[in-house]
């Protein structure tokens, strides 16, 4: 057989194979169930022009209503996106089928260009993720949830004193509360001001991550090949953004870790922390696949993840009670009945403070810190309720849509803690945002027990000591905040003013010695 005949035969084989594959795909495509409902889209670009404007979680909720579906499907230039706007559907897929829904999308911007792949929050599902998650869970599971109570007490009391000294800076004080506390827990570092080098290292890094994780922020996530274009190329500003963010993230992860490591080796550790304990137990931990890099990565994840989400909820609390001062009065009446104004509330008081618990639940429902949820990636084809969800699809659970569903929470856009109460106690028949807000399945937030304890003590003690209301303008008219929030993956209230004053000298004296 001549060379030309061989090439002709090979070419024929390739063409025949391609035709066969195309026919199989066509046959399967015609026989498989349909995709979930969603806008029709256009060839090649799919639903690019249908992608909702900010805030996208509200846009997805409206789109779900428009197409009368709890499972929304969009084709983003060949990449499939599925948005779950119903908590029962989210539980069915992300929890009961977690074996195939526990991966994360590729995220070229965050993981590859910004270098954040060390965080198990965005890490692909696998052995490394399991090792990091197991290490985190060991320190934050519900059976040891109270081990950080002393640190929480100290941080909250510092927050209250800072609030009394400069109440106009309350939003900054909230950030400092959560940032200083997570630094103390992760590294045993006690800081006194925002200018501290460890605290300062985190601010810009966290802002960059929140922007980059929001779908649609950067085109490189849709076209990963763009990551190879040079930084000087027109339209490659994302490369400059990523380079700076990577430098900030590396600093966030390295600076406090190596500080603790040096102190550990010099035997000058003065305070307990996650990192110090892990370094001490490293010989034993190594048997389960833990090394120094894992300790460094998980420590940074504690700091990175814990600071933003909890500060968002505390700031949302201040926004809510500024807009609704009557909530403050009702909460203070309950606190006074239980405590008599003679001491600050503690964790043991929670069962006797149902209205405070209702306020916390309503804050989480009204302004969820992560309103779109964190993306999952489906690892193999799935069929649910007759709808086909393809492998590789990015899946969001959209907590905002659930929490603003009028059938679950009537008058859902209003702030009403009473919706969670019945006969003066928490109503078990109302869906609990504390259960839903942290995700579900194998990717559920492992720090949720710690976060809820911090929320309770901060909100209860703030209300015990301070009156909070709207500010007044020059004519004595109330300056009511408009309630708007940022549009990042973690959503914060936009800056607003609030009138914060001690309830009395006696109330102020409760924080003087703490």
Phi (first) and psi of residue 489, to 5 degrees: -55, -40
Residue 513: pLDDT band by 50, 70, 90 thresholds?
low
Alpha-carbon gap, residue 371 to 308, rounded angstroms:
13
Is the pLDDT reported for residue 30 higher than 70? no
Element (H, E) at 425: strand 425-426
Residue 26: pLDDT band by 50, 70, 90 thresholds?
very low
Is the pLDDT reported for residue 9 higher than 80? no
Residue 464 sits at the vertex; the CA angle it makes with 459 and 466, to the nearest 5 degrees, is 90
Is the pLDDT reported for residue 29 higher than 70? no
Greatest CA span in the chain, whole angstroms?
Answer: 103
Q: Give one DSSP letter per residue of 133-178, joined into a string.
A: HHHHHHHHSGGGGGGGHHHHHHHHHHHHHHHHH-GGGHHHHHHHHH
At 360-418, the pLDDT tens digits run 999 999 999 999 999 999 999 999 999 999 999 999 999 999 999 999 999 999 999 99
* Cα radius of gyration (the chain): 25
Residue 36 sits at the vertex; the CA angle it makes with 30 and 42, to the nearest 5 degrees, is 75
The reported pTM is 0.90
Residue 6: pLDDT band by 50, 70, 90 thresholds?
very low
Topology of domain 56-512 in CATH is: Cytochrome p450 (1.10.630)
Among candidate residues 274, 275, 315, 272, the one with its CA nearest the CA of residue 159: 315
User: CB neighbours of 40 closer than 8 A, spacing ≥ 6?
Assistant: none
At 169-184, the pLDDT tens digits run 999 999 999 999 999 9
Q: What's the DSSP call for residue 92? A: I
Mean pLDDT of the chain: 90
Taking a C-beta distance cutoff of 8 angstroms, is the pair 73, 80 a contact? yes
Alpha-carbon gap, residue 150 to 243, rounded angstroms:
39
Alpha-carbon gap, residue 189 to 260, rounded angstroms:
9
Among candidate residues 311, 306, 305, 323, the one with its CA nearest the CA of residue 484: 323
According to DSSP, the β-strands at 79-84 and 394-396 are parallel
Taking a C-beta distance cutoff of 8 angstroms, is the pair 381, 330 a contact? no
What is the token pair recorded at 211? 């922007």
At 288-300, the pLDDT tens digits run 889 999 999 999 9
How many Cβ atoms sit within 10 Å of the Cβ of residue 104?
A: 21
How many Cβ atoms sit within 10 Å of the Cβ of residue 203?
A: 15
Element (H, E) at 389: strand 387-389
116 is in an annotated binding site: no
Alpha-carbon gap, residue 466 to 483, rounded angstroms:
21
Domain ranges of the chain: 56-512
Residue 191: pLDDT band by 50, 70, 90 thresholds?
confident
- What is the share, in percent, of the chain residues with pLDDT greater than 70? 94
Phi (first) and psi of residue 466, to 5 degrees: -120, 145
Alpha-carbon gap, residue 409 to 69, rounded angstroms:
18
Within 13 Å, how many C-alpha atoms sit on residue 32's CB side?
17
Among candidate residues 220, 213, 378, 401, the one with its CA nearest the CA of residue 309: 213
Alpha-carbon gap, residue 151 to 458, rounded angstroms:
12
């Amino acid at each position: 057989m001549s060379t030309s005949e061989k090439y002709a035969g090979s070419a024929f084989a390739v063409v025949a194979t391609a035709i066969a594959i195309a026919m199989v795909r066509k046959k399967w495509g015609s026989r498989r169930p349909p995709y979930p409902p969603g806008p029709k889209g256009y060839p090649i670009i799919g639903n690019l022009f249908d992608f909702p404007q900010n805030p996208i979680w509200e846009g997805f909720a409206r789109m779900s209503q428009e197409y009368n579906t709890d499972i929304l499907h969009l084709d983003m230039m060949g990449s499939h996106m599925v948005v779950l706007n119903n908590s029962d559907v989210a539980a069915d897929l992300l929890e009961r089928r977690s074996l195939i829904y526990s991966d994360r999308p590729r995220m070229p911007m965050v993981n590859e260009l910004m270098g954040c792949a060390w965080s198990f929050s965005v890490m692909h599902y696998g052995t490394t993720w399991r090792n990091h998650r197991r290490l985190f869970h060991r320190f934050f599971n519900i059976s040891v949830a109270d081990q950080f109570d002393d640190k929480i007490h100290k941080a909250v009391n510092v927050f209250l004193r800072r609030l009394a000294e400069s109440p106009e800076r309350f939003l900054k004080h909230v950030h400092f509360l959560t940032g200083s506390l997570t630094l103390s827990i992760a590294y045993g570092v006690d800081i006194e001001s925002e200018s501290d080098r460890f605290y300062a290292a985190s601010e810009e890094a966290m802002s960059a991550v929140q922007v980059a994780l929001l779908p649609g922020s950067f085109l490189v996530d849709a076209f990963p090949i763009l990551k190879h274009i040079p930084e000087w190329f027109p339209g490659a500003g994302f490369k400059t953004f990523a380079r700076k963010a990577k430098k900030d993230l590396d600093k966030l992860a390295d600076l406090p870790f190596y500080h603790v490591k040096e102190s550990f080796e010099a035997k000058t550790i003065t305070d307990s922390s996650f990192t110090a304990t892990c370094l001490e137990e490293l010989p034993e931990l190594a048997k389960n696949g833990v090394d120094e890099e894992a300790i460094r990565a998980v420590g940074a994840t504690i700091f990175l993840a814990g600071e933003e989400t909890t500060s968002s909820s505390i700031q949302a609390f201040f926004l809510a009670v500024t807009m609704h001062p009557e909530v403050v009065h009702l909460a203070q009446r309950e606190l006074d009945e239980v405590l008599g104004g003679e001491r600050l509330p503690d964790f043991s008081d929670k069962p006797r403070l149902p209205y405070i618990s209702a306020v916390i639940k309503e804050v989480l429902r009204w302004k969820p810190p992560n309103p779109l949820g964190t993306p999952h990636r489906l690892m193999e084809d799935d069929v649910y309720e007759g709808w086909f969800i393809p492998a590789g699809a990015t899946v969001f659970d959209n907590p905002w849509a659930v929490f603003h569903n009028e059938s679950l929470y009537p008058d859902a856009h209003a702030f009403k803690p009473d919706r969670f109460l019945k006969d003066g106690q928490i109503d078990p028949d109302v869906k609990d945002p504390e259960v839903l807000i942290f995700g579900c399945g194998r990717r559920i937030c492992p720090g949720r027990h710690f976060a809820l304890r911090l929320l309770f003590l901060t909100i209860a003690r703030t209300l015990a000591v301070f009156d909070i209301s709207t500010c007044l303008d020059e004519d004595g008219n109330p300056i009511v905040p408009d309630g708007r929030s940022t549009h990042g993956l973690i959503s914060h209230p936009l800056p607003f003013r609030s009138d914060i004053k001690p309830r009395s000298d006696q109330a102020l004296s409760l924080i003087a010695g703490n």
